[in-house]
Structure 1
């Protein structure tokens, strides 16, 4: 059974656009997914990336066009720009880590619910009530907003270190553990699907 390590930022628009395709691919191939939310801005700093705020306006204008094109291609609603962006990613990331560890719910649905809250509902995903609602909707205890803080914070830091060590430099980023094949971006999920079919 293949293992997919999924490195991502909760506020990345590309994480939102990935939707549930990773989970569908994993189910089709009998693979398991480990969710590893991380500090994307910190990752950029560590791996030679440029934070969006420091990018040239032409790059950001093109990014906006690409996001709109992909949303249309995938048939999903998407705000051009949430009111609060970027939000503090840590609280939602801690909750995802704690929920995955606790079990009993659908971690993929939790990630997607938080991404939807930001990119469709224009909500602040750093707020406890938003995180609690996403946890509950995905089948987890809403109390993980507070009880999972310590566990989440420790793992969140480790996820960034692991990502740097394993060659991750953006979000979403998928690594097949058995082969060390790496796939960057929601537009590379077809390649991940094909690779798993070859194992």
Structure 2
């Protein structure tokens, strides 16, 4: 069975974006540095389709994922930059209860139960499933996440969009337990931390 992997950049204090939920690339998270090349080599599929030719990745096959999931907020960051589908090289699903359509017919819009759709995807053949953002969708899919691949940047944001969504009164209580599989520090100060769910 395929796994749902939350691969995302986060601050030391656990935020994936600022309070405005704007694109954190280049502001909160520096894409340049000693971490860039090894992360790109390990996860070539995370590089957006329109950038892949510039990096010599046009024909590079995915290593981990053949499917990518985004919430409305993450998807709209690309739209604001004129990109209707940042991941044409992957099967792309966008989850939203407020959107009525998407601008690219290759994208599947999911406005039904997200967890049920994830369980269907997991039962299919293929590589693992990449949850790329955002924090709100990760909070909704918390029970379905099998692995965390955290690109931890040496910055403190203080406030913003949490790694697992904005807590509400009806947030599920209790603890999820993960075991650290590996920790890879880079000279830039960024670390790749990989965790497996234990329960």
TM-score normalised to structure 2 length = 0.28
- Indicate the structure with greater helix content: 1
Q: Normalized per residue, which structure has more strand?
A: 2
